[in-house]
Amino acid sequence: MRQRIIIVPKDKTAEKALDFDEATKEQLIELSITEEEFLFMYQNGIIELINKEGKTNIDDYEDDSVTGKENLSEVIKALNSRVDLDANNELIQNVSNLFNEAIDRGTGVYFYF
């Protein structure tokens, strides 16, 4: 089974370390996504929404990130508008929380699918 993970570096040092694949677990906030959760996000347009609002290109075989306060904020707004509409609200809220963490920490959200 493939590992799918969403990561927020805790600070700029961690973000640079992640870029060089040298970040430690202590430097990162991680959310592991099951295959079923990924399929839910993909089939229900959550990945597409993140790509559009975050100006990125995440998909089944593309790792990418959302950076910049404006892009992060736009994704949060879009995700929050979906919370009451979807069956898997906890997953969407957890992903939205990662975007909030990234804004608070001045970093980004990194998708490794």
For the domain spanning 4-112, the CATH number is: 3.40.1760.20
Q: What is the pLDDT of residues 20-56, one digit of tens each?
A: 999 999 999 999 999 999 999 999 899 999 999 999 9
Q: No. of H helices and E strands in the chain?
A: 5, 4
* pLDDT surpassing 80 at residue 104: yes
Q: What is the pLDDT of residues 72-102, one digit of tens each?
A: 999 999 998 886 655 668 899 999 999 999 9
Tokens in use for 8? 């927020």
In angstroms, rounded to a whole number, what is the distance separating the alpha carbons of residues 82 and 89?
8
- Provide Rg for the chain, Cα atoms: 13
